[in-house]
């Protein structure tokens, strides 16, 4: 029997669902029941390990897991050098400095000599030192927002997505210093066979990601305007063109970048396109 690639996924939390969804969209079948701690996929040589996300970098480093999905913040904080196989783009958040509403903040230099509570002292220290600011850190693992009120910090540095929790605790966000999203990390010494399995997985992940950026578009067009289509859609190879029964008309199928879609739609309408159909693409390779 061949080898199996072992992937570590957060057992329960902000990363779990999207990590499992990504693997599922890659056509890999498994129970995705994170109440079990370990399970094997039925149609791909991959095995799942459900653990706490802060354990993922060290599990991957020690080879207990071969790859893992973790927030870039967690990976950078732990300072364990591993390969980042892919930035997966979900679980986006920022690490921000927040201070009590009455704190007179005039840039990072206002933090000189202050006590900053954070779960990410290593990331913060690297950034502040880089700006020539010396502060001290109070390492907490949760409820960071409460620390100024109880007198153990002057400011905080925490992950934010909307900022509502900060406001509710009488704090103002004054500076975003670091941006994170989920990444796939990889053990540095994978066997050749495991590397092969990983590249098969990454090929699927890339196809899923690429598909998100494009739409499949088909429409009917007077043949005389066919030459304009290439300039308008400007993606992939030449569109597929089929003659319609009605003389002088063609049907065109092509792929359009999501961010160019509305502009292309308007231009296609302007050259007489009719019956424009837009379809979501599930997977797409180059
Ligand atoms: P959690 O499930 O709360 O332990 O969060 C896991 C990971 O989700 C964090 O390490 C971040 O990478 C990411 N994340 C995304 N948005 C946020 C947020 N608003 N607060 C905390 N973590 C977030």
Full-model pTM: 0.88
Q: Which residues make Cβ contacts (< 8 Å) with residue 97, sequence separation at least 6?
A: 108, 111, 116, 155, 156, 157, 173, 174, 175, 176, 177
- Supply the residue whose CA is at minimum distance from atom 9 of ligand 1: 71
Q: In angstroms, rounded to a whole number, what is the distance separating the alpha carbons of residues 129 and 174?
A: 18
Question: Residue 117: CB within 6 Å of ligand 1?
Answer: no
Q: Which two tokens stand for residue 256?
A: 């359009």
| Sheet of strand 83-87, all strands in order from the earlier edge strand to the far edge | 38-40, 46-51, 5-10, 67-71, 182-186, 83-87
Question: Residue 145: CB within 6 Å of ligand 1?
Answer: no
Cα 270–chain centre separation: 37
Q: In angstroms, rounded to a whole number, what is the distance separating the alpha carbons of residues 172 and 8?
A: 36
pLDDT tens digits, 70-118:
999 999 999 999 999 999 999 999 999 999 999 999 999 999 999 999 9
Backbone CA torsion sign across 87, 89, 90, 92? positive
- Rounded to the nearest integer, the mean pLDDT of the chain is 94
pLDDT over threshold 70, residue 235: no
pLDDT tens digits, 185-214:
999 999 999 999 999 999 999 999 999 889
Question: Residue 71: CB within 6 Å of ligand 1?
Answer: yes
- Supply the residue whose CA is at minimum distance from atom 5 of ligand 1: 14
pLDDT at 37: 85
Closest listed residue to residue 254, CA positions, set 244, 271, 239, 241: 239
Q: In angstroms, rounded to a whole number, what is the distance separating the alpha carbons of residues 63 and 186?
A: 9
Question: Residue 159: CB within 6 Å of ligand 1?
Answer: yes
Q: What's the DSSP call for residue 145?
A: G
pLDDT at 25: 94
With pLDDT > 90 as the criterion, what percentage of the chain qualifies? 85
Q: In angstroms, rounded to a whole number, what is the distance separating the alpha carbons of residues 92 and 43?
A: 30
| Sheet of strand 155-160, all strands in order from the earlier edge strand to the far edge | 136-139, 115-118, 155-160, 93-100, 171-180
Query: What are the CA-CA distances from residue 236 to residues 88, 228, 283, 285, 286 (Å)?
Result: 23, 15, 14, 10, 8
């Amino acid at each position: 029997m061949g080898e199996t690639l072992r992937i570590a996924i957060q057992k329960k939390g902000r990363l779990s669902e999207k990590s499992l969804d990504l693997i599922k969209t890659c056509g890999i079948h498994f129970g995705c029941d994170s109440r079990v701690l370990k399970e094997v996929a039925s149609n791909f040589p991959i095995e799942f390990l459900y653990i706490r996300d802060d354990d993922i970098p060290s599990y991957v480093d020690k080879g207990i897991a071969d790859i893992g999905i973790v927030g870039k913040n967690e990976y950078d904080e732990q300072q364990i050098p591993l390969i980042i196989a892919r930035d997966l783009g979900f679980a986006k958040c920022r690490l921000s400095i927040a201070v009590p509403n009455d704190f007179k903040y005039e840039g990072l230099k206002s933090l000189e000599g202050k006590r900053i509570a954070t779960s990410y002292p290593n990331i913060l220290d690297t950034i502040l030192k880089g700006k020539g600011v010396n502060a001290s850190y109070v390492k907490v693992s949760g409820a960071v927002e409460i620390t100024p009120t109880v007198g153990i910090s002057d400011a905080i540095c925490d992950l934010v997505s909307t900022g509502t929790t900060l406001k509710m605790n009488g704090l103002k966000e004054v500076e975003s210093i670091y941006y994170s999203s989920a990444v796939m990390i990889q053990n540095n010494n994978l066997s050749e066979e495991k590397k092969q399995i990983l590249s098969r997985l990454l090929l699927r992940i890339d196809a899923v990601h690429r598909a998100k950026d494009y739409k499949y578009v088909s429409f009917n067009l007077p043949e005389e305007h066919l030459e304009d289509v290439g300039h308008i859609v400007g993606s992939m190879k030449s569109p597929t063109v089929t003659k319609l029964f009605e003389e002088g008309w063609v049907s065109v199928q092509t792929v359009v970048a999501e961010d160019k879609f509305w502009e292309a739609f308007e231009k296609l309408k302007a050259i007489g396109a009719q019956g424009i159909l837009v379809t979501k693409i599930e997977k797409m390779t180059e």
